[in-house]
Chains A and B, each alone.
Chain A
Amino acid sequence: MGTFSDSLTLAAALVAHLDPRFVDIVALSLRVSLTATALAACVGLPLGAAIAVGRFPGRQALTVLLNAMMGLPPVVVGLVVYLLLSRAGPLGAFGVLFTPAAMIVAQTILITPIIAALSRQVVADAWGEYREQLTSLGAGTFSAALTLIWDTRYSLATVLLAGFGRAIAEVGAVMIVGGNIDGVTRVMTTTIALETSKGDLPLALALGIVLIAIVLIINALAQYTREWARVRYG
Chain B
Amino acid sequence: MADVASAGGLPIVCAGVAVGHNGTRILADVDLAVTRGNLTLILGPNGSGKSTLLRVLHGLLTPTAGTISWGGASVRPRRHAMVFQRAVLLRRSAAANIRYALDLAGVRGAEAESRIDDALAEVGLRALAGRSARVLSGGEQQRLALARAWALRPEVLFLDEPTASLDPKASRAVEEIVRGIHARGTTVVMTTHNLAQAKRLAYDVVFLHEGRLVEQSPAQGFFNAPRTSEAAAFLEGERL
Which A residues fall within an 8 A CB radius of B? Answer: 129-130, 132-133, 135-139, 143, 147, 151-152, 229, 231-234
Contacts and interface: CB of A to CB of B under 8 A. Distances in A.
Contacts of A229: 91
B199 interface: no
Interface string B82-122: 10100010111000000011001100000000000000000
B88 A234 contact: no
Given A132-B60, A135-B60, A137-B101, A233 B88 contact: no
Nearest to B133: A234
B132 A234 contact: yes
Contacts of A233: 91-92, 132, 134-135
Given A132-B60, A132-B84, A233-B135, A151 B101 contact: no
A151 B55 contact: no
15 contacts: A135-B60, A136-B58, A136-B60, A136-B82, A137-B81, A137-B104, A137-B105, A143-B104, A147-B90, A151-B91, A152-B91, A233-B134, A233-B135, A234-B91, A234-B133
Interface string B56-80: 0010100000000000000000100
List 3 A-B pairs, minimum CB-CB distance, nearest first. Answer: A234-B134, A133-B88, A233-B91
Contacts of B135: 231-234
A132 B91 CA distance: 16
B180 to A, nearest CB: 21
Given A151-B90, A234-B91, 17 more contacts: A130-B88, A132-B55, A132-B60, A133-B84, A136-B58, A136-B60, A136-B81, A136-B82, A137-B81, A137-B101, A137-B105, A147-B90, A147-B100, A151-B92, A229-B91, A233-B91, A234-B132
Interface of B: 55, 58, 60, 78, 81-82, 84, 88, 90-92, 100-101, 104-105, 132-135
Contact of A232 (B90, B104, B132): B132
Contacts of B134: 233-234
A171 to B, nearest CB: 38
Contacts of A143: 104
A128 to B, nearest CB: 11
B121 to A, nearest CB: 21
Most buried by B among A129, A137, A233: A137
B150 to A, nearest CB: 13
Nearest to B58: A136
A104 B48 CA distance: 58
A8 B82 CA distance: 65
Contacts of B105: 137-138
A151 B100 CA distance: 12
A231 B92 CA distance: 13
A19 to B, nearest CB: 45
Contacts of B55: 132
Contacts of B100: 137, 147
A107 to B, nearest CB: 31
Nearest to B132: A233
B38 to A, nearest CB: 20
Nearest to A130: B88
A229 B101 CA distance: 23
A222 to B, nearest CB: 18
A205 to B, nearest CB: 44
Contacts of B82: 136
Nearest to B152: A137
A144 to B, nearest CB: 10
Contacts of A232: 132, 135
A114 to B, nearest CB: 24
Most buried by B among A133, A139, A233, A234: A133
A139 B134 CA distance: 20
B139 to A, nearest CB: 15
A157 to B, nearest CB: 13
A129 B86 CA distance: 10
Contacts of A133: 84, 88
Contacts of B92: 151, 233
B132 A132 contact: no
A90 B105 CA distance: 50
A80 B192 CA distance: 62
Contacts of A139: 104
Contacts of A234: 91, 132-135
